[in-house]
Structure 1
Amino acid sequence: MGLIERLMTMAFGGSRNVVKETAEVFRENAEAAGARRSVLQGQTLEQFAAEFGAGRTWFDAAMDGLNRLPRPLLAFGTLGLFVAAMVNPIWFASRMQGIALVPDPLWWLMGAIVSFYFGARHQIKSQEFQRSVAATMAQVPQVVANTKQLEALAPRPPADSGHDARLSLSVTEAGDNAALSEWRLSRQ
């Protein structure tokens, strides 16, 4: 017994586990990794709270408001141009003649600014769309299974009678059912 006890003490130690410590060299301890992730997430949330939660000034609110203006202004401005063209075509045509004089490099610059501004939003929306498509595609096996179950519950048509109309009518017409007739009589 003394030899086995010494071997176990050497392998697992008095207060340490040599096997566990050796295994952790090759594979991360899941419990310790979860604790580290939890601490990291808590610290990240604390940093965000310190950065965004406290000390919001009027300037921050004004900048947030200004950042929300370009998209609606461009959309309503474009609709306004259509209304202006219908209400006062001569005024609209004279303004469009002025726009025709804008040099091409300025149009390119305007296009680049608008593209960068809206491109970031488009990328975010397209990534959200791809995530929703992936989530929908993940539901396909369940939908197929549900559809098969529903189709199994659907009433079956009578036997195929081909092109024989008399046979089709005889199959679909209600005939005498002795059990049903007896039941009806017992209910009266």
Structure 2
Amino acid sequence: MSALMGTLFGDGRNAVAETVELFRENAENGAAREAALSQAALAQFAAEFAGTRRSPFDVVIDGLNRLPRPALALGTLALFVSAMVDPVWFASRMQGIALVPEPLWWLLGGIVGFYFGARHQAKGQEFQRSIAATLAQAGQVTEGLAALEALRGGALARQAALPAPVSEPVDDEEAATDAPNAALAEWKNARG
């Protein structure tokens, strides 16, 4: 029996585990590989977008890209107000919209859809860049926290190494005369 156990588990090897790993991945090793892959991808992503600055042109274009959504929302509200203020004017404008051919509506829908889709994608990528930049700083934050903990540990060790303050014994009568405690004064008077 010991020869069989030595064959299966001897020499720092585990034949059963090695055989099972031929058919099923070792979950712990797989998780370690997945974590290493994620860390490498995040590091590459952070390095790609580190230090990018936006030009004034990018800022202006980004500002212009923010206009269509509020303009569409406010324009729709303005149509409701115009329908209540001047129904004839509103009805004539709606008759004009009714004359727009259907292919033009499809084209407008495609343009608006692509615009908002591209805007959503651009904002999503900007968000991912900010996440990557934040994760790139995680090592610095961890090092700073470790340094602070080391300082705290050193301060506690120095405080523990200090000798405790020694108080000199005080005579009971001295303490009673210095103390403003009425009960002690009464006790002192009763004694003597």
State the TM bucket, normalised to the shorter chain.
0.3 to 0.5
How high is the TM-score relative to the length of structure 1?
Answer: 0.46
TM-score normalised by L of structure 2: 0.45
Q: Comparing both chains, which one has the higher relative contact order based on Cα–Cα distances under 8 Å and sequence gaps of 6 or more? A: 2
